[in-house]
Structures are given as structure tokens and as C-alpha cells.
Amino acid sequence: MNILMVGPNAASKGGIATVIGNFKEQYTGQHVFYLDTWEEEHKYQAGLKAFWTIRKKVKQHQIDIVHFHVAQKGSFFRKALLAKWVRKKSRVVFHMHASQFDTFYESASPRLKRWIRNTLDQLDGLVVLSDEWRAYYETITKTNITVIENAVPVPKAPSYHTNAKQIVTFGRIGQRKGSYDILKVAEQLGETFPQIEFVFYGDGEIAQVEAEIKQKQLRNVRLGGWVTDDMKADVMRDTLLHLLPSYQEGLPMAILETMAEGIPNLASNVGGIPQVLQDEQNGYMIQPADVSAMVTKLTVFLTNEQKREELSEAAFQTIQTNFSIDTYFTKWNEFYTSLLKQEEVDYEYTN
């Protein structure tokens, strides 16, 4: 079985690139080839090149399945157009990572909505990150939907330190991620826990957040930039909790990666997050924008070392049991196989 994986370069920023990187480094189940549609230094050139080369790759490598990694807006438009070029030559799958596809679709014009639905209906398979997202996509497409949650490599033992001093947030900085709510939390907890530092690791609305930090005179908040692979181990060792009070999400790789290191999470109950986090059991859950609940839960967490130890162990066990990379690849092997079996059934039925 030959598979062509289409999406951002594995060295790019973001969760989708991390997923593709895991495939490149550890997936050996099938013959997989890669086509980049996005690179940090050559953003648009990579996309244009993909349009000229995708048919050649499909023919050259005798591709059975084209596996597109898809978000919303520009990502969806690019992959939809590329899919048209190869639809009759191989099976086509959209792997939906979008955190705001519902907003993207609902804000579209009636004509664009029809085009989006038609694009989804012509797929051979649609893979989503959670039961919540499956329920949503079932309202706009008749294509068969499969849930395969994100997963991460799991170390032999967690690297968590219960006396670390940093509460961190990984990924995009901005309103959707609850960044400004975190600033409110930091302001309220600053006097009670002066030793704790809130650190944003990522890109996005840097200038706006910096301005608010200065305006509020927050001495316990820092912008740490984008975490490179060389930095990651040290940052993880210094992290007491990962804080992600997002308003919309898919299934964040940052939550899985931190939990795999035994780092507890406090996150909002949106997207696929409730399939990973159980409140008070392996982390904390809150409603988006509930600053008061964040302050209350963090106060308990910061004053109770035993609770930190319990949540850390439970977080590690959750990833090891349900979100390990080995289990993940087993699910993909089963999915790919079932997709080609369905192709054989369709051929027999039509002939």
C-alpha cells in the first residue's frame, strides 16, 4: 500500500506539522511519501509547487491513498483544489485538524457552503479528532467519518517536578487561545504566588500581549518565543502546569505532549479536550472565559503538592494507555486497510 501525505512541512510551526513529523519519524506500517504545501520560509512557493507535482507523485509512486491534513480557510481551499487533481487516480482522505471549522462554515455564504459540502461529500473518507467533531461534521456531509485522536510518543517515565515554578502555554498566542484571560489570572495570583511565572511559548498576537503586560505591570508573565526541539526538554522540566483556556480547539498536541511528560493541564472543555482531560482526575477543566474558576483551581493546585503528584501520575497514565503513538498507528493501519477494501467492494458492485 502506497500513501501520499499532503500538508505542511514537518519542520513548520504548529500541531499539524507535529503530527506529520511523528509519521515521518516513527510510522513504518506502509510506504508513505510526503508532499509539502507549506514551509515557514517559502509559504506560497510550496503550495504552488504542490499543484504542479501532486499528479506526478501519484503516478510515479503508484499512490493508493492521498492523505490530506486539513484545517480551515486557506488550508481547506488548497487541499480541496488539490484533491480534485487526484480524485479519480486514488482514494482521497481529509484528516481534519481544524479548531474553527464550524465558525468557518457558518460564516460562509450560501454558495460557499454548498461548495464546502460538495467537497466533503466527494471524499472517500473523513478523519476527525474527537466524537464532538464527528457529531458536527455529520451535520454537513454524508461521507463516512472516522475518529482517530491525536497521539504522541510516550517516554518510559515522566520528567515532572512538583516544585517547578513555571505555568506555561504552548502554541498560538491570541484571543482564541484565551491568552488575555491568562493575563487576568496572572494578575490575580501575582501577590499570593510571587514565585510562579506564567510563560507564553509561541507566536501570534505578540505585540498586543506585550502591551497588556506593560499596561497591567505584570512582573510574573514572560513571552518565551517559539520552542525549538533543542529547547523542549529543558522547558518541559521547568513546567509545573500547562494552561490552555481556549475558546475553540481540535485536539491540541500541546496537551498530549505535556501530559506524556506527566505535566498536569488546566484547559477549557471545548473540541476534543474532554476526551483527554477529566476534571480533578488527570487535570482541570473549565468553561471558556471562566477566569474565576481558573484562579480557584490554580490556587488549590499550587498549595497542594500531593494533588500535583496525583494529577501528574494520572496524566502520564492517560497518555500511555489511550494516546500512545503505537496505538495511533494501529488505528491508521486499520483505517487505510478498510478504505482499500471498500474500494474493492465498490468495484465489484459497479462491475
Cα dihedral angle (22, 23, 26, 29), rounded to 10 degrees?
160
Going from the C-alpha of 186 to that of each of 139, 245, 269, 285, 294, the distances in angstroms are 39, 13, 21, 18, 10
- pLDDT at position 67: 98
| CATH 3.40.50.970 fits domain 166-322 | no
Q: What are the residue ranges spanned by the domains of the chain?
A: 2-151+325-350, 166-322
- pLDDT at position 350: 46
Domains 2-151+325-350 and 166-322 in one fold = yes
351 residues of the chain, pLDDT tens digit each: 999 999 998 888 888 999 999 999 989 878 999 999 887 776 678 778 888 899 999 999 999 999 999 999 999 999 999 999 998 889 999 999 999 999 999 999 999 999 999 999 999 999 999 999 999 999 999 999 999 999 999 998 888 999 999 999 998 899 999 999 999 999 999 999 999 999 999 999 999 999 999 999 999 999 999 888 889 889 999 999 999 999 999 889 999 999 999 999 999 999 999 999 999 999 999 999 999 999 999 999 999 999 999 999 999 999 999 999 988 999 999 999 999 987 555 544 444
Residue 240: other Cβ atoms inside 10 A: 23
Backbone φ and ψ of 261, nearest 5°? -95, 5
* Three cell numbers written together for 51: 499543484
Amino acid at 234: D
- pLDDT at position 179: 96
CB 299 within 8 A of CB 167: no
- pLDDT at position 230: 85
* Three cell numbers written together for 259: 501530559
Helix-, strand-, coil-residue percentages of the chain, each rounded to 5: 45, 20, 35
Considering the segment(s) 2-151+325-350 as one domain, its CATH architecture is 3-Layer(aba) Sandwich (3.40)
